[in-house]
Amino acid sequence: MKFTLQATDKHTQARAGIMETAHGTIETPIFMPVGTAGTVKAVHQHELADDIKAQIILGNTYHLYLRPGLDVLQRAGGLHRFNGWQKPILTDSGGYQVYSLTEVRKIREEGVTFRSHIDGSKHLFTPENVMDTQRVIGADIVMAFDECTPYPCDYQYARRSLDMTHRWLKRCCERFDATEPLYGYEQTLFPIVQGSVYRDLREKSAETIAAFGREGNAIGGLSVGEPAEEMYAMTEVVCRILPAEKPRYLMGVGTPVNILENIALGIDMFDCVMPTRNARNGMLFTRQGIINIKNKKWETDFSPLDAESDLLADRVYSKAYLRHLIRSQEILGAQIASLHNLHFYLWLVGEARAHIVAGDFHEWKSKMVKQLDERL
Amino acid sequence: MKFTLQATDKHTQARAGIMETAHGTIETPIFMPVGTAGTVKAVHQHELADDIKAQIILGNTYHLYLRPGLDVLQRAGGLHRFNGWQKPILTDSGGYQVYSLTEVRKIREEGVTFRSHIDGSKHLFTPENVMDTQRVIGADIVMAFDECTPYPCDYQYARRSLDMTHRWLKRCCERFDATEPLYGYEQTLFPIVQGSVYRDLREKSAETIAAFGREGNAIGGLSVGEPAEEMYAMTEVVCRILPAEKPRYLMGVGTPVNILENIALGIDMFDCVMPTRNARNGMLFTRQGIINIKNKKWETDFSPLDAESDLLADRVYSKAYLRHLIRSQEILGAQIASLHNLHFYLWLVGEARAHIVAGDFHEWKSKMVKQLDERL
């Protein structure tokens, strides 16, 4: 993987870059739609590529490991061949899901035993087998196996967890470097900075992670319930330490405003379920602010979702129609709202990038963050 | 509405025709995807038009009346404007849903009182107000309000119900003819033959209905649980009586084999929830037979759904991937399977038409019905 910085903002830490992977080029800052079980919910692969203009999507190791399972994925020749998405894929390590979705039996030095949320079956994730699993899935970018601490998290727990995450990282790197890609193309491992909301722990973690010298670095354990100001403070601390010449990925973030603020702090990559999950509940993100399409006020608003959008669905479907679909729990409602929100997120990071290159990111961002949180 | 017969098969009663409506031309025999609440479930309008090549879709008066409701539909300027589907629409009368979905309070000469399946609210459908409702919805073809008898149905009940359906038809016609379209384009009313599985009642009903001299005629009360042979027998009896120069619509039918057999008996129009409803449960209809995609045998079948299809989804998604999506209850599974099945149904009636025109429908049909019911 090759990362090239194209432009750095004069007034903020925002950067525009290009990542080159085996499955194509990614222009950063970028948002990665979440395709948990090998599908971005309610969206076709050709819609992701052609309409939303996604450049990379995310898959969840935990979900893919359980279903369809590694045997199927390996026989398919990896996730790209399995789901027909030809552009880059990043997989998380499963850590977050193990802690948030399952009945965790035990976190030990060896790894984590847990029960499947699907059938209750018992499984063990270790740094080593999670690397092997991600070799089988075949993502272009794979994530280290870490412990994602909850919020709030007491200092002693966060400190001890962090040390274990660092020891696990060493094991991840050793296993990853001792194994080869299975499908003939390069994979890259990103380590993850943890440390909850403690500045000294975040600094220590960022230094430790940076010293591993991998090709990109991630920040985890944020957007787990802490106030946005704490998130920004931690991002700032960590970005000051992580090397500028490598991409920085802030995991699981966030709202449109969160994304712009973190771009300003030096983040290059984002993922979040918000645009798709909230879409299915009728929340639309727009340039002017947030729409709850279920509200009565849209009942007879027959204007298009966005008449000026380059997304077909935004031009041909009205607010009143989408409201009807979402209220009636029609699948097409989830489809339209998911298309809209993902298109908007990709538009947002694309605009951010254009303004970084043009040199007026700071002014543009200041204007945008005022309106993006408005309730329409 | 204008209907022109283009070809009639020499060995069967099958016909190829063209219907011209205010929203465009329909080549018969045709299958109409069911868009219950103003959306064909899991399918975008542009996919219906461009990929599936649907020429007309169906809407359900009962569902649309309850949600979004007549006020919204009237303000939108009718269903076409509301959902963005520019081609022809047919609406049923709500009769079938009232009997099958609701707690029916009472069927009287005046009409039917029932409680909404959504919120339990009480409503009255009469022949007159159902015509008014369909004026508001604005479908190109609207259906008479009838009583759809269940199967089995005792003879005396079927006879009395039939007489009421005929009296209701008179009221429907009077109301329809006394009112004008609301949106400036022509609407056409089709009456419905009933009579359960009783030959003499079906004959009487067909004669009565034909005597009304409307521009098309429908057959209802079949595909409600009776054996296929009884359905075909009734279709045959009725088609012998209904005028040849007008389109004949067999409501709620059916499997691919049912459709071919009924085309052979002289039916021009079909609708059924089967291709979409069964799609969501993982049943795929193909030229070679029926696939239950959940079966283990497809787990590692990475071949496309149909490599030779002109539907993109058939070529880019594999059986193993669709199996994974359906088993994981992913929305994309419903999307792909619905596209596949509807595309197949439209392909099937299009092929039937081509063979009627070419003069070899009978041989083609005999070959097809042998394989369409195979379990793959």
Q: What is the pLDDT of residues B208-220, one digit of tens each?
A: 999 999 999 999 9
CA distance A76 to chain B (A): 7
CB A260 within 8 A of CB A352: yes
CA distance A341 to chain B (A): 17
For A25, list phi and psi in degrees, rounded to 5: -95, 145
What is the per-residue pLDDT for A339? 98
Mean of the pLDDT values across residues A181-187? 98
Q: What is the pLDDT of residues A127-167, one digit of tens each?
A: 999 999 999 999 999 999 999 999 999 999 999 999 999 99
For A6, list phi and psi in degrees, rounded to 5: -100, -35
For the ranges A94-98, A186-190, A251-255, B57-61, the lowest mean pLDDT is seen at A94-98
For B279, list phi and psi in degrees, rounded to 5: -55, -45
* pLDDT-based confidence at residue B99 (cuts at 50, 70, 90): confident
* Shortest CA distance from B70: residue in chain A: A300
Contact B331 A76 (CB under 8 A): no
CB B119 within 8 A of CB A340: no
What is the distance between the terminal CA atoms of chain A, rounded to a whole angstrom? 42
Q: Active site residue: B9, B51, B271, B306, which one?
A: B271
Q: Which CATH class is domain A2-273?
A: alpha beta
* pLDDT-based confidence at residue B98 (cuts at 50, 70, 90): confident
Question: Is A55 marked within a binding site?
Answer: no
Residues of chain B contacting residue A321, judged by C-beta atoms under 8 Å apart:
38, 76, 82-84
Q: Active site residue: A9, A51, A268, A271, which one?
A: A271
* Residue A22 reports pLDDT greater than 90: yes
For the ranges B100-104, B238-242, B276-280, B336-340, the lowest mean pLDDT is seen at B100-104
Q: What is the pLDDT of residues A265-279, one digit of tens each?
A: 999 999 999 999 999
What is the per-residue pLDDT for A246? 98
Mean of the pLDDT values across residues B126-137? 98
Q: Catalytic: A50?
A: no
For the ranges A51-65, A273-287, B53-67, B90-104, the lowest mean pLDDT is seen at B90-104
Angle between helices A199-211 and A155-178 (to 10 degrees): 10
Question: Is B310 marked within a binding site?
Answer: no
Query: Edge-to-edge, what's the strand order for the sheet holding A30-32?
Result: A30-32, A269-271, A248-250, A217-219, A192-193
* Residue A98 reports pLDDT greater than 90: no
Q: What percentage of chain B has pLDDT greater than the value 70?
A: 100
CB B182 within 8 A of CB B78: yes
Which CA distances in Å does A273 have to A32, A372, B213? 10, 18, 57
* Residue A104 reports pLDDT greater than 90: no
Report the alpha-carbon distance of residue A275 to residue A280 in Å, rounded: 9
Mean model confidence pLDDT for chain A: 97
Q: What residues in chain A have their Cβ under 8 A from chain B's Cβ atoms?
A: 37-46, 67-68, 71-72, 75-77, 81-84, 299-300, 302, 312-313, 316-318, 320-321, 323-325, 327-328, 330-332, 334-336
CB A354 within 8 A of CB A347: no
Strands (E), B231-371: 248-250, 269-271, 283-286, 289-292
Q: Report the candidate in A44, A55, A51 with the shortest Cα–Cα distance to residue B312.
A: A44
What is the per-residue pLDDT for A167? 98
Contact A316 B81 (CB under 8 A): no
Q: Which residues of A325-364 are buried (b: 16+ CB within 10 A; e: fewer)?
A: bbbbebbbbbbbbbbbbbbbbbbbbbbbbebbeeeebbeb
Contact B68 A44 (CB under 8 A): no
Residue in B44, B84, B328 closest to A67 by CB: B328
Q: Catalytic: A163?
A: no
For A264, list phi and psi in degrees, rounded to 5: -65, -25
Asked whether the ipTM of the predicted complex exceeds the cut of 0.95, the reply is yes
Residues of chain B contacting residue A76, judged by C-beta atoms under 8 Å apart:
300, 302, 318, 320-321
Mean of the pLDDT values across residues B307-312? 96
* Residue A244 reports pLDDT greater than 80: yes
CB A28 within 8 A of CB A17: yes
Contact B44 A334 (CB under 8 A): no
What is the per-residue pLDDT for B95? 85
Chain A contact probe: residue of B305, B331, B338, B340 with most A CBs at under 10 A:
B331
Residues of chain A contacting residue B316, judged by C-beta atoms under 8 Å apart:
45-46, 84
What is the per-residue pLDDT for A183? 98
Q: Report the candidate in A340, A345, A315 with the shortest Cα–Cα distance to residue A326.
A: A340
Residue in A45, A300, A318 closest to B316 by CB: A45
What is the per-residue pLDDT for A100? 84
**Paired tokens of B80:** 């076409």
Question: Is A154 marked within a binding site?
Answer: no
What is the per-residue pLDDT for B105? 79
Residue in B37, B46, B313 closest to A328 by CB: B37
Its pTM stands at 0.98
Contact A37 B324 (CB under 8 A): yes
Q: What is the pLDDT of residues B258-285, one digit of tens each?
A: 999 999 999 999 999 999 999 999 999 9
Question: Is B360 marked within a binding site?
Answer: no
Residue in B84, B324, B335 closest to A68 by CB: B324
CB B38 within 8 A of CB B79: yes
Chain A contact probe: residue of B87, B321, B326, B340 with most A CBs at under 10 A:
B321
Q: Where are the domains of chain A?
A: 2-273
Residues of chain B contacting residue A327, judged by C-beta atoms under 8 Å apart:
67
What is the per-residue pLDDT for A101? 82
Residue in B67, B312, B331 closest to A327 by CB: B67
Contact B41 A332 (CB under 8 A): yes
What is the per-residue pLDDT for B103? 76
Chain A contact probe: residue of B64, B280, B302, B335 with most A CBs at under 10 A:
B335
Q: Chains A, B: CB contacts under 8 A, how many?
A: 120
* Residue A105 reports pLDDT greater than 90: no
**Paired tokens of A363:** 């002014």
Question: Is B71 marked within a binding site?
Answer: no
Report the alpha-carbon distance of residue B60 to residue B38 in Å, rounded: 8
- The enclosing H or E element of A323 equals helix A319-327
For the ranges A29-38, A102-111, A146-155, B157-166, the lowest mean pLDDT is seen at A102-111
CB B269 within 8 A of CB B248: yes
Residue in A76, A327, A331 closest to B302 by CB: A76
